[in-house]
Amino acid sequence: MTGTQPAGTGPRPPAQLRAAVLGAGGRAGRAVSRELVIRGHRVTGVVRDIRRHSSLGDLGVDVAEADATRGADLVEILREADVVIVAVTPFSAPPPSFDDFDEAFYEHVVAGVAGAARGSPTTRLITVGLFATLTMADGRTVMDDPAVFPPRLLPFARAHARELPALRRLASAHDWLVVTPPAGLRADGVDDTAGYALVEPPVDHRLFEGVLGYGQLARAVADQSETPTLHRTQVAVLPAPSTTADEAGTGIG
């Protein structure tokens, strides 16, 4: 499925959503939290250290402290959530070494969230994925091509790659979706009012050419929170054709 959503279009839900954003202190989580608040939803931002992210309250976000890999920490926080957005990252930039990195990190997060989220009525789970895990037209994933994805970041990519199987195995009681931005994910220099396209893999060269703003990503997540059209799958969120750039980052964070 391919769909393009320009800014400010699409139906709005009849009632306020109760949303929990895990990793609300990061760039993606903060953008999603802001977008949901603007749309009139009640948002709880979940962070590891509440003292570092008190400014979330200025956005109208309720802030809660929890370890996203520990389901016991999340039970009370997620008990009433209609939608849970997972934008957690173990680091905001690639570390010097992955020697101590647990590649089961995202699998632990899925287990914790799936075990703590409300089962009835069904909770919507949306995770922000990594472009390296997307399947290309030749059947390989992006992470399989060293010319496209830096080999030194493979431990991080492998960790993200465990997320989709974990959702299939552990989150069958929930309506989940993996929303995956392209390599070029930027906070500055991008027109966040531009549209976006949702594309189910396999993906083509647009993954490597486009630059997406965090605002565009946030709108895609918010739209799929309010009016779900994709279920139990992974989807790439790409910029509108007019939003391009010559350079792209790794999409970490």
**Whole-model pTM?**
0.89
Per-residue confidence at 11, pLDDT binned at 50, 70, 90? low
**Residue 14: per-residue pLDDT:** 52
Per-residue confidence at 208, pLDDT binned at 50, 70, 90? low
Q: How far apart are CA 113 and CA 111, in angstroms?
A: 6
Task: Give start and end residues of each alpha helix (H) in the chain.
Answer: 27-38, 71-78, 105-116, 154-161, 163-170, 206-209, 214-226
Site of tokens 């946030």: 218
Which residues fall within 8 angstroms of residue 246, CB to CB, at 6 or more apart? Answer: none
Per-residue confidence at 184, pLDDT binned at 50, 70, 90? confident
Q: Read off the amino acid at residue 161.
A: A
User: 50 to each of 24, 45, 123, 139, how far by Cα in Å?
Assistant: 10, 10, 25, 42
pLDDT over threshold 70, residue 23: yes
Query: Would you call the peptide bond into 181 cis, given omega within 30 degrees of 0 as the criterion?
Result: no
The tens digit of pLDDT for each residue in 104-132 reads 999 999 999 999 999 889 999 999 999 99
Q: Coil, helix or strand for 202?
A: coil
**Residue 158: per-residue pLDDT:** 98
Q: How far apart are CA 106 and CA 150, in angstroms?
A: 20
**Residue 17: per-residue pLDDT:** 97
Per-residue confidence at 192, pLDDT binned at 50, 70, 90? low
**Residue 210: per-residue pLDDT:** 75
Mean pLDDT of the 81-102 span:
93
Q: How far apart are CA 57 and CA 35, in angstroms?
A: 14
Per-residue confidence at 248, pLDDT binned at 50, 70, 90? very low
